[in-house]
Structure 1
Amino acid sequence: MAETINRGGAVDALVDDLLALSRVLVGLTARTLAALDTDVTLPQYRMLVVLAGRGPQRPVDLATELGLHPSTITRTSDRLVRRDLVQRHHAEHDRRTIRLGLTDAGKELIGEVMRRRAAELRELIEPYGPDLDLPRAVRAVVSATGEPSEAEWWRRWSESARLGSA
């Protein structure tokens, strides 16, 4: 797999950098959620983000958007309703139609996570100055967090199932 990723060229290098950045952002999000002591998992957070960005959704539409089975959406939304982060709305024209939307607490949680993530990213990028171009910015964030390059990640991945090596 690593051989197909690392072909060389500007596009492939940017793809590699973006993949490494995606790992940084997932880690940053997980740390932020943990720091807020929210008891919200990353998949639950992703659902909240979609609801924040797209507004109330029918569960079936949310399942399609997230690439999940509708029953998974039902279980996840049940948990988020119990935490008062999501609420169910019944359509006025058809009481059988349910839409899921954020509560004020859900909206505030998403806002706080986004603000904290932006502050941490700003802190990582500011030392490089205002003229930092996008590819360099991506590499700077990845490097500043200690995340391995894409090539190094794939090397580590290929060795990750070997027992007794450390």
Structure 2
Amino acid sequence: MPQRPVTDRTVDLEAQDLIVAVPARLNRLHQMVLGSLDPQLTFRQYRTLSRVAGGYTSLSQLAARGNLSLPTVSENVDGLVRRGLLVTTQSEHDRRAIVLGITDKGRAAVETADAALRDLVKYLVADIPAEDLPVVTNALRSLYDRATIYFNTEQIDGG
């Protein structure tokens, strides 16, 4: 893995541990919540459905948005099609391309999942004073942005 520029900033061990542990814990929570719904979804399935509902209607768009390979996205989409949550049609402009669409059942699944995840987030932030939430949001946005830059650089560098 290529070396990334490192700042002189000191990061205490607790912050380091939390930055590593929190995403894993949140991922497990998302899986638990989404897996308890009807229909059951994985986090990747949920993200795919919500992105198609939001206008990402090609495999390549989904792959780029999710930093995933086309075979991974294709496999995920195929499973959602088999379950009746997505449909595929042939593009009017390119016979080789397919266009993804969300079914009523898929849209209902996204709405149910959105509500469940919204409730989870409300629970998670319940002990954070309202005036501190913008600071938390800014810190999370910064971590997300830096992780995205790191990830994209790694992809460009051949990793």
Whole-angstrom distance in 2 between the partners of 1:69 and 1:50: 16
How far, CA to CA, are the matches of 1:137 and 1:94 in structure 2?
A: 42
Normalised to the residue count of structure 1, the TM-score between the two structures is 0.60
Structure 2, gaps ≥5 residues long:
1-5, 140-159
Further displaced range: 61-70 or 129-138: 129-138
RMSD: 3.4
Structure 1: runs of 5+ lacking an equivalent = 140-166
**How many Å apart are 1:30 and its aligned residue?**
0.6
Compared with structure 1, are the counterparts of its residues 25 and 107 closer, same or farther at alpha carbon in structure 2 (3 Å cutoff)?
farther
Task: Write the deviation string for residues 7-51 of structure 1: whole angstroms up to 9, x where unpaired.
Answer: 5369xx5x8756554334322211111211534333323322322
Residues 103-148 of structure 1: CA deviation (Å, up to 9, x unaligned): 2222221221121111122133234443334456899xxxxxxxxx
Which structure 2 residues correspond to residues 1-166 of structure 1 after superposition, within 5 A? 8=10, 13=15, 20-53=21-54, 55-135=55-135
CA contact (8 A) 2:63 2:70 kept: yes
Q: Which amino acid aligns with 2:43?
A: L
Using a 3 Å threshold, how does the CA distance of structure 1 residues 88 and 128 change in structure 2: closer, same or farther?
same
Identity %: 30
Relative to structure 1, the CA distance from residue 35 to residue 65 in structure 2 (aligned partners, 3 Å threshold; closer, same or farther) is same
CA distance in 2, matches of 1:64, 1:96: 19
Give the counterpart letter for 2:42 in structure 1.
Answer: T
Greater relative contact order, per chain length (Cα 8 Å cut-off, separation 6+): 1
CA pair 111-21 structure 1, distance change in 2 beyond 3 A: farther
Question: Cα 1:47–1:137, aligned 2, differ >3 Å: closer, same or farther?
Answer: closer
Query: CA 1:16/1:114 → structure 2, altered by over 3 Å: closer, same or farther?
Result: farther
Larger radius of gyration: 1
> Residues 89 and 100 of structure 1 are in contact (CA less than 8 Å); yes or no, is this contact kept in structure 2?
yes
SS in structure 2 at match of 1:108? helix
CA distance in 1 between counterparts of 2:24 and 2:43 reads: 13
Inter-partner Cα distance in structure 2 for 1:74 and 1:136: 35
